[in-house]
A and B are shown apart, each in its own frame.
Chain A
Amino acid sequence: MPDSGRSPSADQAVIRLKDRLLKGYRARICGELVRPATAASLLDLPPDLAPGLREALTARGLPQLYAHQREAFDLARAGRHLVVATPTASGKTLCYNLPVLDAVLRGGKKALYLFPTKALAQDQVAELIELGRALKDAGADGVRAYTFDGDTPGDARKAVRTRGDIVVSNPDMLHQAILPHHTKWAQFFEGLAFVVVDELHSYRGVFGSHVANVFRRLKRVCRFYGVSPTFIFTSATIGNPAELAGRLCGETVTALIESGAPQGERHLLLWNPPVINPDLGIRASARSQTTRIARMAAKVGLKAIVFARSRLMVEVITKYLKDVFDKDPRHPPRVLAYRGGYLPSERRAAEQAMRAGRVDLVVSTSALELGMDIGALDVAILNGYPGTVAATWQRLGRAGRRLRPSLGVLVATSDPLDQYLVRHPEFFFGASPEQARIHPDQLLILLEQVRCAAFELPFRDGETFGAEDLGEMLSYLRDEGVLQRQGDQWFWVADSYPANAVSLRSVAEGNFVVIDTTGGAQTIIAEVDWSSAPGTLYVGAIYMIQAQPYQVERLDWPGRKAFVTRTQADYYTDAIDYTRLKILDRFEGRASGQGATANGEVHLVRRYPGYKKIRYYSHDNIGYGNIDLPDQEMHTTAVWWQAEPSALESALPDRAQAIEGFLGAAYALHHVAALRSMAEIHDLGRAVGDGQGTWFAVTGNTGRGQLRGPDNAPVDGEGVDRFEPTLFLYDNYPGGVGLSAPLYDAAEVLVRDARDLVAGCGCTGGCPACVGPIMPGDEVRVITPREAALRVLGLLEGGAPGLDQCAAG
């Protein structure tokens, strides 16, 4: 498509800015990439589109399609499930809208669109309404597209159910409102031809595992109404779109990854703030670098977007930029913040201002990374690595719409992941390293979903649902009293609505609700995942919502309730926890360097003996409190590494140092594993122990590694008979969510990544960016914590055991 708004001077300005950055800050730039412009690959509109559709598209300036849009149409029309995983701004929306509109106009077919956020859903409906208008102008029937979410008023719901051609909703509504009431949607289901799932890459981990089961339920209900809809997914660039989509919908899915859309030249810089304290490895803040680059961009007349990782950081950066650009209140603002938590009207106004080009600098959270239309920008600055390579590209894709050259700058924070990535540009420049994983047959998730499915339609003997033995699960639910078997069917008989008790974002066990009792009333103000409850909701804990502190007064553990009151405390609380792991079952194992790696099932005990009170700002420890909770036990899956004892002894004769080495190695491995598996850091846990639960290692108050016994009493490492430290990475969910098996498969790569992370760090003896925080003075020890970690990782990898060799390589 020609770009009438293209101005050669802006094109040059992007290049000039990049040159200036390269010239002035050479030492901070640790990676540079140029992707040349690509021309459009166009194909004709399908010859036999529904009447009016061709005219409507032509009227909207779309006389032809990009190649991938046409391919998507042909596949969808043939009833083949597909996923479109092309870059941001490549026209993915039309890949599903075209086949859907064609089917709606031809013969009363219906489509269900699922978006992860309400804002995106509303954007979609607005676009569909415009298309519908163009269709009417072209003399065709219109299409009726409605959103269906928690905000849809009760009296409008019936119209959505019975009259909507396209219903735009989200997975939670499908799970809690649509499927359990499918008979009310009978008309809709009878015509359902397409299920469109946008932002596929966000369906991973626990959420993805649940949604895969929601789709199993959806397909069951569809069979009941005699239809089998075609799934169309769109995704950011990840390593396994077809596999992930296939696991989600339980079908064979074709991936379209080649984009036919034209693209301007793209420049990417990886930026590492300068080291300001080499001993402790402390760097200048990412924020200072980000604001500097944003200022330079605005001063040469470029439009830029800054992405920050937290709402707070959005506000801070916005303030700093406004202090420069919006000093005069008589002029319209040039800097704008955009994040969740603003009123919808405020956000709409901001979007409009951006589209109209009235804003020079936008500062946003991930809220803008998704497909909202905000017009053309020249520069994208990422204040910190967003957590996944896919999200990085999505954010960078915000700059450079409409064929213009664009510049992206990723500014690293001092987090280990950031530090690792800026030193490994190949993660961005090669094929996507990220494999999104789901585990739909995770036993607890599956059981809860079978429960929901049984509510919706009775199961018949011989039916299947997931990979587990369904009969066994149904018997379990019968014993629980919710099902009754009669004839060859299993009927729901309980007085409950199971979907309400199942959150798609947690693994069973029931979330805790936080109830504010200030002033006598009881208001639910938050929900806390079961697994994080013991560390956050203990009597005396300060629980924060929007910076308002609440104190936990009473805990109803079996009832999953925490009663809190508002407080003015000038401190926050931090629970102290100890984790012990015991290997229950080893599924498989193999030699790894001078040690071994294995995966299997583990038993984990987490104890919360007490908590610290920490004063704001000064971070002084101003007291302790006891936590009176039973030990939290969990069975989960883990991958672990052990070093051959004699090799360990020769590499690190001092056992205390060996422990420190294992703790540091665990820290590094934990972070690189989260990167490879597209997991959040807290989806995985790490621990160092002996695998028998007889001792475990912690970093003590002195900053040194210590051994503790089962009762948390210190243990003398030299006195331990069989000293075989084990490094665990475990799935931090009861039963596991399938993260550890792939980690075992990639164990060698992980150890290598971890060693690269530690070896390539700019610090001397260890820092939060590689092996975790160290105490002042540790960096001058003969064997620093960093060196100890490298030796351990060297043993596990095989070969080079020390820093010298690593540094040389």
Chain B
Amino acid sequence: MGFEERLRRIRAPAAVPDANAAVSPPDGPSLTERLRRISTGRVTPAPVATGTPDESALAVALGAALLCPGVLCLERRLDPRLRHGRVLLGSSHRLVHLPWTPVPPVGWISAAHPPTAQPLSPWLCLDTETSGLAGGTGTWAFLTGLLRPDGAGWCLRQYLLTRLDAESAYLERVAAELAPPACLLTYNGRTFDAPLLATRFRLAARPDPLTALPHLDLLAPTRRAFARAWPDCRLATAESRLLGVHRDGDLPGSAAPAAWLGWLRRGETGPLAACLRHNRADLLSLAGLLPVLDAVYRDPAAFGADCRAVAAAHLAHGDQPLALRILTANRRGLDAPGLHDLARLHRRAGDWGSALGIWQDLAARGDLQARAALARFYEHRGGDLARAMEFTVTLPPGPERERRRDRLRAKLQRGGGGQQIELSIDIRHDGV
């Protein structure tokens, strides 16, 4: 039986009239009616009231320009003396030396940006507002905010998509802004804004301009420094704690989808304007966070950041002296793992005395790792086999302890001194 025949069956009234059966109208019930009939518990939607969006009026209300049907752009120049919370925005964009992060990040290096080079490109802060957080091809980035250095100050541009069928034109304008040279600066943009824009460009059959730009996302360094200190690392938390910014009457990001839908369906402009303000505030915080985070990474304790994590970041980027300096300066505040990190750095720098001091403090508090380090030290470096044995026997039982104990016992029986044994230290100490 073909499709049409089956459809006829569902839609046509009974071929043989049956006194028992209700008779449907000749055309059959409407789709909505049929859905209502077979649906259990489903609420039939009432048609949504539709106003008529007026783009020109919106442009006026926002102080934006209508670039073409469906695309608005709001442009502002920001004075370098402008303050955002505690921060003077003019201080941000000259910042090029960031010892705490490899910019451009390794994955984004192009031939023009060898890994050792500092960014040659000016910062380009990017933040989008979207029709939802679900991701996938059905999520729109309806507002793209961009903030870049402009002379001594900054230039802000916000592109707003006001018609669904104008996305291609909208993306064309956004793409033009995302041309090199520029280094993207985002907050959670690596996993959110950038993939979302990539999807939109792909759907519009356009190349993705973001792939050509180096990209620094501030969420990861913020999280590294403050994950243990703050309840969360959202941008709102970061700006309030680091910049002293408190937004009054801010439209929460979660209300953005409804604001845009309100415009598309009913032509509402108020919530959309609030959405643009929210986006501007995000961009300013982004620009403001950069110099503060730089300061955090130079002196984490001053900001209540996690010294150990910050030092580890410097170490990972090859800056051992800075890592050592930070840990040394904050030795009092370090927990046991932090102290071990510090001892390791001392040891690497050949400062055995300082390392020994830390291990002894820790061992006195019952720290097993420190006792093991001391056992190793006295066996291989200090040449004091008896003390090495003292620490060894306090270690938890296991094959490693047994091996060390047997070895020490043998050495002690041979009456060996420190001198000839000392030769093996280099290899042994890697795991301390």
Contacts and interface: CB of A to CB of B under 8 A. Distances in A.
A204 to B, nearest CB: 17
B302 interface: no
A50 B8 CA distance: 50
A508 B35 CA distance: 11
Given A584-B21, A587-B15, A598-B18, A183 B137 contact: yes
Interface residues of A, number: 65
Interface in A408-442: 441
Interface stretch (A27-35, A191-199, A289-297, A633-641): A633-641
B428 interface: no
A498 B135 CA distance: 11
B332 interface: no
Nearest to B17: A586
A493 B38 contact: no
B136 A497 contact: yes
Interface stretch (B44-52, B94-102, B145-153, B176-184): B44-52
Contacts of A472: 30-31
Interface in A599-648: 600-601, 632-636
A720 to B, nearest CB: 15
Interface stretch (A124-132, A484-492, A703-711, A754-762): A484-492
A493 B16 contact: no
Interface string A571-588: 000000000000111111
A395 interface: no
A765 to B, nearest CB: 33
A493 B264 contact: yes
Interface string B22-54: 111000001110110111111001111000000
A495 interface: yes
A494 interface: yes
Interface string B198-227: 110011000000000000000000000000
Interface in B236-275: 257-258, 260-261, 264-265
B138 A455 contact: yes
A486 B165 contact: yes
Contacts of A492: 138
A454 B136 CA distance: 12
A589 interface: yes
A225 B137 CA distance: 14
A745 B9 CA distance: 13
Nearest to A724: B20
A479 interface: yes
B1 interface: yes
B136 A181 contact: yes
A457 interface: yes
B40 A489 contact: no
B47 to A, nearest CB: 5
Contacts of A587: 9-10, 12, 14-15
B261 A493 contact: yes
B383 interface: no
A558 B9 CA distance: 33
Contacts of A74: none
A262 interface: no
Contacts of B132: 494-496
Contacts of B18: 583, 586, 589, 598
B82 interface: no
A699 to B, nearest CB: 25
Contact of A495 (B38, B48, B131, B264): B131
Interface in B261-291: 261, 264-265
A484 B264 contact: yes
A481 to B, nearest CB: 6
Contact of A588 (B9, B31, B45): B9
Nearest to A630: B41
A653 to B, nearest CB: 24
A509 B45 contact: no
A44 interface: no
Interface string A173-211: 000000011111010000000000000000000000000
A767 to B, nearest CB: 34
A469 B137 CA distance: 24
B197 to A, nearest CB: 11
B257 A495 contact: yes
A184 B199 CA distance: 7
A273 interface: no
Interface in B298-349: none
Contacts of A496: 132, 134
Nearest to A634: B40
Given A183-B199, A496-B132, A692-B20, A469 B164 contact: no
A776 to B, nearest CB: 38
Nearest to B13: A585
B24 A585 contact: yes
A583 B135 CA distance: 45
A9 B140 CA distance: 71
Given A455-B137, A588-B15, A600-B21, A734 B31 contact: no
A479 B22 contact: no
Nearest to A587: B9
A121 to B, nearest CB: 23
Contacts of B202: 183, 186
Given A476-B35, A633-B40, A734-B38, 14 more contacts: A181-B135, A181-B199, A182-B137, A456-B138, A457-B137, A476-B32, A481-B48, A491-B165, A509-B41, A530-B40, A586-B14, A587-B9, A589-B18, A598-B18
22 contacts: A181-B136, A183-B137, A184-B195, A443-B35, A457-B203, A467-B4, A468-B31, A469-B31, A472-B31, A473-B31, A476-B35, A479-B47, A480-B45, A481-B45, A484-B164, A494-B131, A494-B138, A497-B134, A497-B136, A584-B21, A585-B22, A598-B18
Interface of A: 180-184, 186, 441, 443-444, 447, 454-458, 467-469, 472-473, 476, 478-481, 484, 486-487, 489, 491-499, 508-509, 530, 557-558, 583-589, 598, 600-601, 632-636, 691-692, 734-735, 738, 741, 745
Interface of B: 1, 3-4, 6-7, 9-10, 12-16, 18, 20-24, 30-32, 34-35, 37-42, 45-48, 131-140, 163-165, 195, 198-199, 202-203, 257-258, 260-261, 264-265
